[in-house]
Structure formats: structure tokens, C-alpha cells
Amino acid sequence: MRRPAKNPPPTGRRSNKPRPAVAARAPAAKPYHHGDLRRVLIEAAMQLVGEGGPEAVSVREAARRAGVSPGAPFRHFPSRDALMNAVAEEAQRRFRAEIEMALADAPSGDPLGRFRCLGIAYLRWAMKNPTHFEIISSRRFFDHDRSAGVSSDNAELIGLTERMLAEAFSAGQLRIQDLKQVQIAGRALVYGFARMHIDGHLPRWGVAEAEVEQMAADIVDLFIAGIAGPAAKV
């Protein structure tokens, strides 16, 4: 948790004649007001998360990177947790975009195929953005239920899997009766693999970094094969 002593050069204080435009514009002088500090703080925090994980985020460091005083962020976020919340919402936005993009390409006539596609896309994003995935997954870093956006996104995703499985069952693609069990098991599978990646378990289990993506696809396929019925062509 120790800060690495960034040693920021004390940039000159007082400005002479800042431009009245919204965004910072003066070349050498710094305007008193930042322009869009809130946005910049979130981006700085996102970057910190990417560099050292969720706990590497400190309000002071974000302020440092934004070039403002340690107290400034508290004008925009009442607490560190609130900042983390904003970061989580941004991460969730990107995650959702990835999922939607992947599903847009999947044929609607094959629900089980779409289910598989969802699993693959889920894992692909989690593999590529482990620290951001961790933020939106693990309580501790922000309170899921405190953010309406994240919560509703999540509920939507849950409902989506439910519908997919129901359709797959209707189409005779499943041989398992209890759809809820399938849903939970599938979710546990992909979440577990993503978590193993984040938590650094995969090397210990003999999965090298280069094989990770292939293995992710393989276990999703293995799971699908395990639940697929005679009508599915897996």
C-alpha cells in the first residue's frame, strides 16, 4: 500500500490570465479551475487500477496525477469509495459493451450457441482486463447495490442467461432439467476461471499464459457438451 514517492515537481502556482474556455488551455500557466476534474480523476483511478489493482488507488495519488491538491477530489467524490464506485461504473460500461458486441454477431436461432458465445465473450473481456474485472466482481472495492447502473446491468445479464437457457431447453438443445442449476454452474465456471486468472492460480494448475485463451474456450465447450441434449449439434 505504500506510495512509491512520485516526487512531483512543484509546478508554478498562480496563473496570470487563464483563458475563459472550459478546458485548460494556457500553455505554461495553470488555470485555477481544472476544467473536468471529475473525469480526469476517474481516468487516473482507472489507470491506477490497471497498474496495481484496486487497492493501488488512493485519492491523493489520483489528485497528484491530475495536478490538483489532495483535498480537491472531495469536491467531486464524497469518499474514496465513491471514486471507486465511479471507476466500477466505467468498467461495467465497457464490459457490457463487449458482451453486447459479441452477442450481436451470434445467430438468434441457436440459443445454446448464443449461451456459449456469451461465455466466451465474458472470459475474453475478463482475461484482457483482469483488474477492472476484479473491481466490478469483488465487493470490498465498491458496493454493487449502491450503483443503480451496475445493478441493473447485472440483473439484465442474469435475465439474459435465463432466457437463453429456457429457449435452448424449448428447442431441445439441453438434456438437463433443472435450468437454474445449469445457470449457476455455468456462471460459476466462467467466474471461477476468470478469478483463477486474476488470482494467479492458472500457472500453478499448469495453464501457461499463452494457453489461457484457448483453455477458456475449451472449458466453456466442455461445459456446453456436458449439458447439451440430443438435439444440439455440439
Partner DNA sequence: TGTGAATGTAAGCGGCGATTACACGGCTTG
Partner DNA sequence: CAAGCCGTGTAATCGCCGCTTACATTCACA
Residues that bind DNA in the complex, under the rule CB under 7 A:
1-3, 5, 13-15, 18, 20, 22, 31-35, 37, 57-61, 63, 67-72, 74-76, 78-81
Indicate the residue among 29 and 217 with the shorter CB distance to DNA.
29
- The grid coordinates of residue 69 equal 491538491
Cβ at position 7, least distance to a second copy in Å = 24
Q: Which of 200, 214, 223, 207 is nearest to 123 (CA)?
A: 214
* CB proximity list for 230: less than 8 A, separation 6 or greater: 172, 175
Cβ at position 21, least distance to DNA in Å = 8
- Taking residue 44's Cβ as centre, other Cβ atoms within 10 Å add up to 22
Residue type, 165: L
Cβ at position 25, least distance to a second copy in Å = 38
> Choosing among DNA, a second copy, none, which partner's interface includes residue 37 (Cβ < 5 to 8 Å by kind)?
DNA
Cβ at position 133, least distance to DNA in Å = 21
Indicate the residue among 68 and 207 with the shorter CB distance to a second copy.
207
Indicate the residue among 69 and 214 with the shorter CB distance to DNA.
69
Cβ at position 137, least distance to DNA in Å = 21
> Choosing among DNA, a second copy, none, which partner's interface includes residue 50 (Cβ < 5 to 8 Å by kind)?
none
User: Which residues of the shown chain bind a second copy in the complex (CB under 8 A)?
Assistant: 53, 55, 137-140, 144, 154-155, 158, 176, 178, 180-185, 187-193, 195-196, 199-201, 204-207, 215, 218-219, 222-223, 225-227
Indicate the residue among 29 and 219 with the shorter CB distance to a second copy.
219
Indicate the residue among 58 and 151 with the shorter CB distance to DNA.
58
